[in-house]
Structures are given as structure tokens and as C-alpha cells.
Amino acid sequence: MKRIIVVLLTVLGVHFSSFCQWQQTGTVDTFAIKTLTAYGNIIFTGTDGAGIYTSSDEGNSWILKDSGFTNLRINAMAYDTSGTLYAGSKSLLLFTSVDTGNTWVLHNVGGTGNSISSIAVMGTNIFAGEAGDGVFLSTNSGASWAEKGLCCASVLSLCTDSGGHVYAGTNAGGVYRSVAPFTTWAMMNNGLPGTLPQIRALIANGSLIVAGTAGSGIFISTDNGLNWAAANNGLDDLNVFSLAAEGQKLFAGTESGGIFVSADQGLNWIQSNEGLSIFNVTALTAYNNFLFAGFSNGEVWKRPLAELTSVDEVSDSKDFEIYPNPVAEKLGVKINDFENSTISICSISGNLISLLKPQGPITVVEIEGYPNGIYFIQVQKPDKIQTIKFIKY
């Protein structure tokens, strides 16, 4: 068979270091990022001392939006179907905006807690969790609030599911669940550790309810919170402070271990820190084909969702294959629809080593000079990126 020559794809203006790894966005502030959310084409960051910044260019630049704020320590954000934005702060103050964050109106939620730690939305019901005094409900876009139970509990996280349940994660009482009219709460701790950990993050993703804890990792329920199972395989840091989901993928931000991704509903986790310089992840959100991560030093980083895959994850269509694996000298890459593809090879740390243009359905990559170790090969097409791990020996 005629030998196929691999040709490096040269693209003017492309910085190779931006491939296969996290990229830092423009500067936000020096205060910790407490919450990230996206509405329309705007990303919002709530900071622990500088109010809210927004970006309309996928994080390349940030603009301070603090008009109307009387407390700049923002813990939580959410939005409802009408487009009203909600921001909860210290001192039990909640702010709303109907003009995509340009101006904010102050509302006093009430209660005796020390801050609004979490916000969740279910239709016209807006729930605010207080660190120190339970859950409060507004049915008029935040204009007035009523206490809805869990009095004196320190509520750290909230989420709602499609079945009409609202879940509250607490500091020391585990998880509670309620349904309309939201006046009674049932403890939902079967399967959680005997010494209940802080429930720092809660999300609903399809039939899953996912809880991130301080010190005990991640727990998942598939029956609306009745039973929980630990989901920590591959999760090296059990202090989970932020969660996000996109499709079948779950993302976890940890205290010192960085970011982990699961493509199998939490059964297995893979650390994904390529290119990061800080690993205390305080907020996550998926938006416009990117995962955005906020950190304790005020930085925001992003990475294409298509790159965040579990090891050896390839779609059922088998758009490309490699052989042999492990490999010593020559790696064969067989690609369907090769004309619209590019190949990139990255080190285990995320550094781009080669960017190649296939010259036919089978491309041979000379890797004899590579140091022994683990590498990732990606095939990028206009609508997807697929990744396979290979070993050089």
C-alpha cells in the first residue's frame, strides 16, 4: 500500500497552546467567583465582594453591573421564564433585574439567617435558601417573600426537578424535599453517610438528582431523592463545591482537585485540569458549547464541552479508529469523512503536540520520537470532536 504522508496543517494566527486545554477568559476581579449563570447570550458572575460582572462575548471581556446593589457579596443567581434575574447576597438581601442585569432592584427576603446562599426556580415559584433560617418563597417575581419551613436550618443549596419537587441541601441535616404548597419538608437521607456532610451543591439532570458534599464526594439519586448512592469512582477530591450538567455529561468542581467530568451519569469520573493554574473551583456553568469555571481568586476559565470527555469516549458511530494501541513507532488513524476533519495530538497535561490534516481515509502518524507515556488523539469535524487515549511505549 502506498505510504501516506502526514502534513502539518499550518494556520496563520492560531496559537497551538489553546488546543486541548482550559483557556483563561478576560479578567473579572480578585474576589472569589461564588456563582456563574447564563441567560440569553450573556454570562453572569456573582463575586464575593465586587457584585456582578457580565460578558456577552463568551468571557473574552467582562463589564461590572452593580447599579442598585447595596451589598456586593453575591452568593447565588437564577432566572425565571419571564427573563427576570435574581441575585442573592449577604445580609439577606435579594436583587432582581428585568433588563439583563443593567439595573437591580432591592428586596428584603426576611428571616434570621446571615445570607441568601441559594436560589431555585419552578415556574412562578422562586425559592431562596438562607444560611441559618430555612427556605423562603416568592410567587410575584421577588416582590414579597414568605417563610416555607426548615426554620433554623442552614440551607446551602437548592434545586427543582420536572416532577414538582424542590430539594434543599443543608449544613448538617442532609437533603430535604417538598412539593406544593411547600409547607412541609421530608428528610431524604437514605444512603447518605451516617454523619451527614454539608450538601454544598444540588442539580437535577433528567432522572438524576446529584448532590455534591464537603468531604464525602458525590451522591446520586434516581428515585427523586428517596435513596442515594455514592458516585466517587475516579473522584480524587471529595470536597465538591460546584456541579453542572450538559446532556449526559456531569461536571464537578472541587476544593483543590480541580474539575472532574463524567460521561456515564456519575459512574466514573475523569480529572480534566489540562492547562489550569488554579484548582479551587467555586462555580460551574455550561453555556454555548463551553464549560465555564469560576475560581477562588476571581478568575474565570472556559473549555469546549466537546473536549471534556471520559477517556476512550467515542460515539457509537465510530467515526474514527486508531491502531495499534499501545504503539511504539507508527499510529494508524482511520477516519470516516476525512475531508472535513483535522487531527490533533495532545500530551496527558493538555499541551498540543501535533496538528495534522488527513491525506486520506487512513493516516499514519510517526510517533517514534515521542517520550513514552499517555496521549490523547482528537479528530475534529464541523459538528463534533471525538477523543481516544493511546499509550506510547
Residue-by-residue pLDDT tens, the chain, 393 positions: 333 333 333 332 333 334 568 999 977 889 999 999 999 999 999 999 999 999 999 998 999 998 999 999 999 999 999 999 999 998 889 999 999 999 999 999 998 888 999 999 999 999 999 998 999 999 999 999 999 989 889 999 999 999 999 999 999 999 999 999 999 999 999 999 999 999 999 999 988 999 999 999 999 999 999 999 999 988 999 999 999 999 889 999 999 999 999 988 888 898 889 889 999 999 999 999 899 999 999 999 999 887 775 444 444 446 789 999 899 999 999 998 888 888 988 876 567 788 888 989 999 999 999 998 888 888 887 767 778 888 888
On whether the CB atoms of residues 348 and 373 are closer than 8 A, the answer is yes
Instruction: Provide the phi-psi class of 112: left if phi over 0, else alpha when psi is between -120 and 50, else beta.
Output: alpha
Q: In this structure, what C-alpha cell is assigned to residue 148? A: 416555607
On whether the CB atoms of residues 291 and 305 are closer than 8 A, the answer is yes
Name the pTM for this structure. Answer: 0.78
On whether the CB atoms of residues 328 and 365 are closer than 8 A, the answer is no
Beta bridge partners, 126, equal 121, 138
Q: Shortest CA distance to 325 belongs to which of 362, 359, 370, 375?
A: 375
Side chain identity at residue 10, one-letter code: T
pLDDT of res. 3 = 34
pLDDT of res. 2 = 32
CA 382 to each of CA 250, 338, 342, 385: distance values in angstroms, whole numbers, following the listed order? 24, 11, 10, 8
Burial of 247 (0-12, 13-18, 19+ CB in 10 A): exposed
Beta bridge partners, 294, equal 283, 300
Q: In this structure, what C-alpha cell is assigned to residue 193? A: 453517610
Measured between alpha carbons, how far is 78 from 50 in angstroms, rounded to an integer? 18
Residues in contact with 316: Cβ distance below 8 Å, sequence separation at least 6, in sequence order: none
pLDDT of res. 166 = 98
pLDDT of res. 52 = 97
Measured between alpha carbons, how far is 335 from 279 in angstroms, rounded to an integer? 35
Beta bridge partners, 26, equal none
On whether the CB atoms of residues 103 and 125 are closer than 8 A, the answer is no
Give the CA angle between residues 35, 39, 45 to the nearest 5°.
Answer: 25
Q: Shortest CA distance to 53 belongs to which of 300, 303, 304?
A: 300
Domains of the chain: 7-16+312-392 (2.60.40.3080), 22-307 (2.130.10.10)
Measured between alpha carbons, how far is 303 from 91 in angstroms, rounded to an integer? 34
